[in-house]
Structure 1
Amino acid sequence: MKYVNLDAQIGDISGVLDPVPYLEQLPALASALPVGARAFATASGHYDFSGKRCVKDLTLQRIRGVGGADGELEITFRHNCWKHDEDLVIHYTGVSSLVTDPPGVDHTLDIGSLVLDEVLPHEIGCSHEIAFWEGTITVVCRDLVATWTAQSDCPVAP
């Protein structure tokens, strides 16, 4: 990640997640992002750790379209019942690059929950780096559209 700090230190506490450097740059970066990427990156609550539409704590459910001739890719993230009531689906168009670490990441590999992400301008559109506790996914594409979809499979508190 260029701006999001996944290992910040606050006082004597290390290992703190800090999106503030990215959020400080985002107003200047946003105008260079494609429309869908801009809407996703600047959405209210995207980096609000207690918010229902914060990406933190989602889990990778599925990657579809890898290697497709149409340059489209879809990544589905499953909600965390303690925090979210919606799944997130990101549809990427004009994909020129998909890099996973470890290589070959798909829905069958447990790479932990999503930590944070960062959307940056790129010469063909944007790059989207997604950090998990045990790996990363980076997509370079023309644009992306993020859709939150309501789910009702979480247990109801008594």
Structure 2
Amino acid sequence: MRYIRVERTSDGYCIDPTDYIAQLPQLAGSLPAGAGAFATDPQHYDFHSTRFVKNLKPQKLVAGHTDGDAWLEFQLRHNCWRHEEDLTIRYSGVSRAVIHPPAGNHDIQGLQEVLLDEILPHNDGCSHEIVCLGGSVTIVCNDLTATWTKADCPDR
């Protein structure tokens, strides 16, 4: 990641979006509409928000083509103590997708919980990097749409 800091420490992890948040006003105008809306949502980097992406759990990555346009759909499941909703991110016009470490058949559950993500302008539209406890996903696309849907949390 360029601006967001995710570092392993002796106590766990240090995650700090401060520099990215400071850059967002300048970056937002260069992001496609959906990516800009998701990145600048006030809850996205609010550690106390139920829509803060930390602790979401990657569940499924689905790939396809529609009219020659490559797309990906990344499904992230809630963590009941933090979230009230699941998150689905639909990437359109995908030009590159890298999963590290590589996952067979788009099985991304081994990435474990999300630590943080960063969306940046790119010549193809935008890049979205999601760093997890067990690896990362980077997708370059024309745009993305993030959709939150009510989750089944029995304690809420």
Give the match's secondary structure for 1:32.
coil
Distance 1:121 1:146 in 2: 17
The 1:37/1:103 distance shift into structure 2, 3 A limit, reads same
AA aligned opposite 2:129: E
1:11-58 CA deviation, whole Å, 9 max, x = no partner? Answer: xx7842100010011110000000000000000110111210011100
Aligned to 1:42: 40
Q: Secondary structure at the match of 2:119?
A: strand
Mind listing any 5+ residue stretches in structure 2 that lack a counterpart?
none
- TM-score, normalisation: structure 1: 0.89
User: TM-score normalized by structure 2?
Assistant: 0.90
* Change beyond 3 A, Cα 1:67–1:136: farther
DSSP-derived class of the 2:102 partner: coil
| 1:155 positional shift | 2.3
The alignment-based identity, stated in percent, is 47
1:85–1:118 CA distance, 2 compared to 1 (3 A): same
Contact 2:57 2:109 in 1 (8 A): no
Residue 123 of structure 1 pairs with residue 123 of structure 2: yes
Q: Check the 8 A contact 2:60/2:75 in 1, yes or no.
A: yes
Structure 2: distance between partners of 1:55 and 1:4: 13
Aligned length: 154
CA distance in 2, matches of 1:108, 1:8: 21
Q: How does 1:4-83 map to 2 (within 5 A)?
A: 4-7=4-7, 15-65=13-63, 69-83=68-82
More helix by share: 2
> 3-state SS of the aligned residue for 1:25?
helix
Question: Aligned-pair distance for 1:108?
Answer: 5.6
Counterparts in 2 of 1:66 and 1:104: CA distance versus 1, 3 Å: farther
Structure 1: state its 5+ residue gaps. none
Q: CA RMSD in A?
A: 2.1
Displacement of 1:109 after TM fit?
A: 4.0
User: What is the distance in 2 between the residues matched to 1:139 and 1:154?
Assistant: 29
TM-fit CA distance, 1:118: 0.1
